[in-house]
Structure 1
Amino acid sequence: MDKAQKGYLILLFLLSPFIGLLNLFKLKNEKDITFFGTLFFGLVGSVFVYVEGTDGSTHLTQAKEYYSNMSLVEFFKKAYEILTFSSIEGATDIYLHCLSYVSSSILQIPELIHVFAGFVLGYFFIKSVLLVLKNNLRSKKSYILIGFIVLFLLIKSIGALNSIRMWTGMWILFYGTYSWAITKEKKYLYVILFSIFVHFSYAVILIPVIAAYALQKQKRVLVTLYILSFFATVGFSFFAPYIPESDLLANKQSIYTIDSDEDSERYELKTIDAKQVRQSQTFYKAFGEVNYLNYSIVGLSLILVYFYFDKNADLKLNFLIAVGMGLYAFANIVAFSPGLQGRTKAIAALFILAAAIHLQLTLRHYRISLRKLNSIRIGLVLFLISAIPMFLFQISYIFQNISFFSLLFPQISWYLGDADYSIRTAIGLLTD
C-alpha cells in the first residue's frame, strides 16, 4: 500500500471507524492489517460510552480520583506498591496504573485511558487473528468455518474494552503462548510476561498453561484429567499454603474466594439475586455466556478430542487443544473462586475455538470417511446454533458500550462527552 492509499484509508477511519473496518477486510498485507486494525480499536476506545456501574466507568472514575494531580514521585511510589502486591486502592496492576497516569496526570484527559487501552488491545487481538488464520486470509471458506471465525472475531474483542485489563491480558497470553509454541523465539516469553503486568491473575493462569504444554504429548493423561475435573473440585485450603502473604492478595481472597461457611452463604445469596435478575433479562443476556462456556465449548472440545488422538494432528492443533483443556480443567477445580473459574473458562474457550478453526483449515490432512466427516460437520453446526445466544449477547454488549457516532463522525462523540449516546440508546430513540 502506497502513502496516498494509506492516507485515504486513515481519513476514512476518522470519518467512520466501522466503514473503515469494512475496507480492512480487503487488505492483503499483514502489516497494513495490523496497523489499521490497531487504529480501529483506538478509535473505538475514543467513542466508548461510560455506563454507570460497569468496569469502564469505574476505571475512569478512579483515574480522575487518584491520578488527576499525581506527581512523578507519587507515581513511582504507587508503582512500587503495585509490584510488591501491597496496593489495595485504585489501580492494582502496573498496566492500568501507567495508562491512568499518562491519561489523567500528564495529558489531563482521563478518557484517553480507553484510547490507549484500545491500541494495546487492538494490536494483540489483530496479531492473534492473523496467527490463527495464517496463510488462509484469502482462501475459500465454508459457511461453517465463517461462522466460527465470526465468533472468534466477536467474543471478547470490542467488548473487551470495558474491562481494559482482563481480556487484553487474555489476547496477550494467547498471542504470546501460541507464537512461542510455534517458533520457540525468546521474544514471545516477554510477551507472555507482559500479560502478568496487564493483570496479575495471569501469574496464576500461567500455571495450568505451562502444565498443559508439558503434558500435550501425554494425550491420554491430559484428556483423563480433563474428564475427571468435571467430577472433582479442590478446596481453597489446598492452595492457601502456596499463596504469598500480601495486602493485595489478602484483600482479593476475602472478596473472591469461598473459604468458610459465611462465604458460602454470601455466594448463595449472590446466586439467588443473579437468578432473579436473569428473569427480567432477555434470554441471550441471561444465558448466552453461561451456556456457551458451560455447555457449547465442552461439546466442541469433545469433537476436537477425536482429532487430538489422530496421528496427523499437527503441533498447532495439539497445543491449542491441550491448553484449552488444561485451562478448562483448572477452571473446574477452582470452584472455590467463581470469579477465577468464570474467567479461566473464557480463556480456555478462546483456545478451544481457535483449535476448531485451525482444524477446519487443515481438515484435508486427515483421512476420515465421508460418513464421519458429515457427522463432524453436523456437530460443528450444532455448536454454532448453540452459540447464537452468545453471539447476540456480544452484539448487545457492544451496542451498549459504543457510541452511535462510531458509525459516522466519531468527533461528535468526542465533543458530547458524558452526553453521548450508545448505539443501543440511539436505536431506542429512533424507534420510539
Structure 2
Amino acid sequence: MRENQSKGFAILLLFVSPAIALFSAVKHLEWKHKKLVLILFITIYGSLLKYGEGSDAAVYYQLLNSYDNMSFSEFFLRLEHIITFNPLPGSPNDVYVHVLAFFSSSILGMHDVFFPIVGFIYGYFYVTAMSKILVWEKGRKLTLSLLLIVILFIIHRSVTSFQTVRTWTGMWVLFNGVLGYHQTRQKKYVLLMCCAPLIHFAYFVIALPAFAALYIRKIPAKVIIAVYIISFFTSFNPGGILDAAKENSLAETKVGAYYRENAEGEGIDPIMERMEESNAVWYAKYGKTDSVYYGGHAFAFLLILSGYFKKKMTQVEIGLFGTGLMMAILANFGAFSYAFYSRTMANAVVYILGAVSLLAIRGAFSFRDTHNPRLMRFLNWVCILVFVPKMVFFVADLLVMTSVFILGLPFIGWVSSDLNISIREIMGEFL
C-alpha cells in the first residue's frame, strides 16, 4: 500500500519537478513500482528534448511536414514500398518512423507529440532492460567497481540517445528479445527480436549474430574465441559487398553512404574522413565511439582470460556474452566501413556490459577462483578506466541535450519552445 502511494506521489511530482521525481523513485521504490515512473520521466524528457540544427531530431521534425493530412491510401502505398525495400522519394526507409510520423502528423495533427511517443517507446524497452539486469539483494555491499560497472551499463545508450529515433530503440528492442529468450526460453521473445529490423533497416544484418547465439550452447567456446581473435586481422571483401548492394536500390544507397570506391578502385570511408578532420574536444572525439568499443573488447578479453566464458557463467550470462562476442566478430569483419563497425560494435558492447553487470552483481568479479585474483582485479580496473572518456562525454552531452525544465516546471517548456533552454545554455550565462 505504501509503495503504491509513493508511486502515485512520484508520478504527480513528475509534472512539478521530473528530476526530483526520478530521484525519489530510484531511491524509494521497488523495480515493479519505479518502472512506470522511469518510463514517464523519459517521455517527459522527450517532450522537452533540446536538439541542434542538422541533428537527427531536427531531420525527423522536417520529415513530419510531408505527413500533414496524408491519406490512408498514400500511407499504405508508402508502407508497401518500404516493406519491399524500395521506398518512395521523401519517404523514410523504415516501418517504425513511417508509422509514427503518420500517427503524429496526420492522425493527431500534432508534430510535438512525435518525440514524447518516441521517448515512451524507447523508455519502455530501456527501463525494462535495466529492471532485468540491475537486480540485487537488499543489503548487498555496493563496491566502487560494481557501481562503475552498473553506471557504464546505464549510460551506454541512455536518455540522450533516443533522439536518433531508430538505431538505439532498435538496439534495446533486440536486447530485450535476446535477454528475455535466454531467461525464459519463450518463443515470444524471438518474435520481439524480429521487430528490430522494422525499426531500423540495419538490423536485418546486425541482428544475425543474436539469432545465431540462440544456439550458443551447441557452439564450443573455443571456436567462438578463435573466430573472435581472427576477426581482428581480417575483414569482408568490400568490393563484393558493393557489387551485391547494387542488386537493390536501397541497399546501394545505404552502402554508398558508408563506403565507396574512387576511380582508382581505392576504398573511401566518408564517415571516417569526417572524424579524422574533426576538431572536437578529446572526450567528444573518443568518448562517443573509441572508448566504448575498446572498453567492450577489453572486458571481452578479461572474461576470456579469466576462464569465465561458459565455465563459470549462468545460462543467461552465456547467452548475453556469446551474443556480444558474435556481434563483435561481425563488427570486426565489417570494419572497412566505420559506420557499420560503429553501429554493430555499439550493439555488441551492450551485451558484453550486460553480462559483466550480471557477473559483478552476483559477486563474481572478486576473481577468487582464478589463478591470479590480484591480476584479474587490476585488469578489471583497466577495463573500467578505458571508459573514462565515455563517462565525461555522457555528462557533457546530457547537459547539452537536457532542458532546464527537467529540474522543475516542465509545463513552461511545453507552452513555448522559445523558452525551452538547455542546462548547458544556463550554465554558459554564469561561467
Query: With structure 1 as the length reference, what TM-score do the two structures score?
Result: 0.91
Q: Mean Cα displacement is larger for which, 288-297 or 152-161?
A: 288-297
Counterpart of 1:396 in structure 2 is: 396
Distance 1:254 1:388 in 2: 34
| Equivalence map 1:270-419=2 (5 Å) | 271-278=272-279, 281-305=280-304, 306-309=306-309, 311-364=311-364, 368-369=368-369, 372-419=372-419
- Once the two structures are superposed, what CA deviation does each residue of 1:114-145 show, in whole Å capped at 9, x if it has no partner? 10011011111111111112454763321111
Distance 2:379 2:154 in 1: 21
Distance 2:221 2:110 in 1: 51
Judge conservation of contact 1:103–1:113 (CA < 8 Å) in 2: yes
User: Which of the two has greater helix per residue?
Assistant: 1
Change (3 A) 1:155 1:137: farther
In the TM superposition, residue 13 of structure 1 has moved relative to its aligned partner by: 1.0
From 252, 255, 271, give the equivalent of 2:254. 252
- Once the two structures are superposed, what CA deviation does each residue of 1:8-27 show, in whole Å capped at 9, x if it has no partner? 21111111211111112134
Change (3 A) 1:418 1:233: farther
- Once the two structures are superposed, what CA deviation does each residue of 1:165-221 show, in whole Å capped at 9, x if it has no partner? 100110111111111022111211221122111112111112122234434541000
Distance 1:238 1:367 in 2: 45
Counterpart of 1:101 in structure 2 is: 102
From 219, 222, 229, give the equivalent of 2:221. 219
Percent identity between the two aligned chains:
28
Judge conservation of contact 1:47–1:413 (CA < 8 Å) in 2: yes
In the TM superposition, residue 343 of structure 1 has moved relative to its aligned partner by: 0.4
Judge conservation of contact 2:246–2:252 (CA < 8 Å) in 1: no
Judge conservation of contact 1:312–1:366 (CA < 8 Å) in 2: no
In the TM superposition, residue 253 of structure 1 has moved relative to its aligned partner by: 2.3
- Once the two structures are superposed, what CA deviation does each residue of 1:386-420 show, in whole Å capped at 9, x if it has no partner? 21110111122222222111111111111221452
| Equivalence map 1:110-121=2 (5 Å) | 110-121=111-122
- State the AA in 1 paired with 2:91: G
1:161 aligns with 2:162: yes
Change (3 A) 1:256 1:98: same
Judge conservation of contact 1:284–1:393 (CA < 8 Å) in 2: yes
In the TM superposition, residue 311 of structure 1 has moved relative to its aligned partner by: 2.6
Counterpart of 2:40 in structure 1 is: 39
Change (3 A) 1:414 1:35: same
Distance 2:337 2:286 in 1: 20
Q: What is the DSSP-based 3-state SS (H/G/I as helix, E as strand, rest coil) of the residue aligned with 2:81?
A: helix
Change (3 A) 1:319 1:244: farther
Distance 2:239 2:364 in 1: 48
Counterpart of 1:79 in structure 2 is: 79
Change (3 A) 1:356 1:137: farther
Q: Mean Cα displacement is larger for which, 293-302 or 42-51?
A: 293-302
Change (3 A) 1:221 1:260: farther
Unaligned runs of 5+ in 1: none
In the TM superposition, residue 158 of structure 1 has moved relative to its aligned partner by: 0.6
Change (3 A) 1:9 1:28: closer
From 230, 234, 237, give the equivalent of 1:235. 237
Number of aligned pairs? 427
Unaligned runs of 5+ in 2: none
Q: What is the DSSP-based 3-state SS (H/G/I as helix, E as strand, rest coil) of the residue aligned with 1:408?
A: coil
- State the AA in 2 paired with 1:359: L
Judge conservation of contact 2:104–2:114 (CA < 8 Å) in 1: yes
Judge conservation of contact 2:359–2:365 (CA < 8 Å) in 1: no
In the TM superposition, residue 229 of structure 1 has moved relative to its aligned partner by: 0.4
- State the AA in 2 paired with 1:231: F
Q: Mean Cα displacement is larger for which, 295-304 or 206-215?
A: 206-215
In the TM superposition, residue 260 of structure 1 has moved relative to its aligned partner by: 5.5
Judge conservation of contact 2:235–2:335 (CA < 8 Å) in 1: yes
Distance 1:84 1:171 in 2: 25
Distance 1:262 1:98 in 2: 42
Judge conservation of contact 2:402–2:423 (CA < 8 Å) in 1: yes
Judge conservation of contact 1:308–1:318 (CA < 8 Å) in 2: no
Judge conservation of contact 2:197–2:204 (CA < 8 Å) in 1: yes
Change (3 A) 1:4 1:294: closer
Judge conservation of contact 2:86–2:250 (CA < 8 Å) in 1: yes
The alignment yields a C-alpha RMSD, in angstroms, of 2.4
In the TM superposition, residue 289 of structure 1 has moved relative to its aligned partner by: 2.7
Judge conservation of contact 2:242–2:252 (CA < 8 Å) in 1: no
Distance 1:5 1:365 in 2: 35
1:176 aligns with 2:146: no
Distance 2:137 2:96 in 1: 33
1:207 aligns with 2:208: yes
Distance 2:235 2:107 in 1: 47
